Amino acid sequence: MPLIVLKGLRGGVGTTSTTIALARQFNQQNKEVLIIDNCTENILSFYFPEQQKNLPLSQALLKETPIEESIFYYRPHYQILPFGLVNMKDNLLLQLSFSAKQSLSHFLTTFIQLHPNTIILMDLQHTQDTLFTPWIEKADVFLTMVIAESNCHIRLNQHTFIENEYVLINQFRATSQIHQDFYQFWQATSFPLCPVILHQDEASLEACASRLPLYDYRANCMLVEEISQLTQWCFSLFERKEGQP
């Protein structure tokens, strides 16, 4: 069971849109995918307005209903498990709830056993979380999303990296001198940079406005090609891990 975790180093770096695009690219390559979300602002659901009316993950955990009933299909072999809109009180209850952690862990363990070939992508918010933290270290690939700017630079220098964690640069502008400067500086550091860079592309903003995954909005744009390169790089890491004794 390949597990990919994507988490923004800060908010607004494009983690959700990248997760959706990456999952869609795996799906296009005939892979089963499941996106699991933990954004309390319910950003993931915005992209899928035709989703079924079942309870989102957060409400399933609060009401102790079966989590698998919250999954819906965007298209064949492309499944979505949105977190749902959550207020601060309910989010605090979830973070402190032992039963919620136990239910989520049981669901994920069972799902992995039943669907061993499904690629799971976790779209995690940048704030502290206790529900999904245990799964970060189990990730085959942990992508920390950044933009080449000073805010992310400061945070990277205070960040502790774990095994299988890579820095994925998003919204890169080749014509921006500051983007170029930060990228070149990061290359000279010990930061584990992902070899694929995602450039800024108007198609990504247009896809969001159209409430569609990038591939379904414009399959021939530059960013889709870069996302395709990212999937191939992930496949190479999966194969490397499978080959380990």
DSSP string of 34-98? Answer: EEEE--TB-HHHHT-TT--SSPPHHHHHHHT--GGGG-EEEETTEEEE---B--HHHHHHHHH-H
Report the interhelical angle of 150-157 vs 177-187 (nearest 10°): 20
Q: Please, which pLDDT band fits residue 41 given cuts at 50, 70 and 90?
A: confident
Residue closest to 26 by CA, chosen among 109, 142, 118 = 118
Q: Please, which pLDDT band fits residue 6 given cuts at 50, 70 and 90?
A: very high
Taking only the tens place, the pLDDT of each residue in 110-160 is 999 999 999 999 999 888 889 999 899 899 999 999 999 999 999 999 999
The rounded percent of the chain whose pLDDT value lies above 90 is 80
Q: Is the dihedral of CA 223, 229, 233, 234 positive or negative?
A: positive
Q: Which pLDDT belongs to residue 239? A: 85
Q: Which pLDDT belongs to residue 243? A: 62
Which run of H or E residues covers position 32? Answer: none
Q: How far is CA 37 from the centre of its chain?
A: 8
Taking only the tens place, the pLDDT of each residue in 48-64 is 877 667 789 999 999 99
| Strand stretches in the chain, DSSP E | 3-8, 33-37, 72-75, 78-81, 119-124, 141-146, 165-169
pTM: 0.94
**Is the confidence at residue 172, as pLDDT, over 80?**
yes
CA distances from 62 to 46, 104, 109, 123, 206 (A): 22, 11, 19, 20, 35
